[in-house]
């Protein structure tokens, strides 16, 4: 006997559970990306602030 072929129509149907999982994954990735961007922005602002304070200190010493 030959094996039965899968019904291509049933394979193409979207599973609602998969959609929920996909949305959860997308939201998690979105949050992680936002946190990463915020962290990078805070680090950049901190380094610029430190640089400015060093320049002010040098000017005060001169």
**What's the confidence (pLDDT) of residue 34?**
97
3-state helix, strand, coil in the chain (%, to 5): 80, 0, 20
**From CA 15, how far away is CA 19, in angstroms rounded?**
7
Q: According to the model, what pLDDT value does residue 19 have?
A: 80
Domain boundaries, the chain: 30-62
Q: Mapping DSSP to helix (H, G, I), strand (E, B) and coil, where does residue 22 land? A: helix
Task: Quote the distance between the C-alpha of residue 38 and its chain's center.
Answer: 11
Rg (CA), the chain: 27
What mean pLDDT is predicted for residues 11-35? Answer: 84
CA distance 5 to 23: 31
Interval 46-59: pLDDT, tens = 999 999 999 999 88
pTM of the model: 0.55
């Amino acid at each position: 006997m030959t094996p039965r072929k899968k019904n291509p129509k049933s394979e193409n149907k979207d599973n609602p559970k998969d959609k929920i999982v996909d949305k959860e994954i997308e939201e998690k990735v979105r949050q992680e990306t936002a946190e990463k961007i915020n962290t990078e922005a805070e680090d950049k602002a901190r380094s610029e602030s430190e640089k400015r304070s060093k320049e002010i200190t040098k000017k005060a010493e001169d």
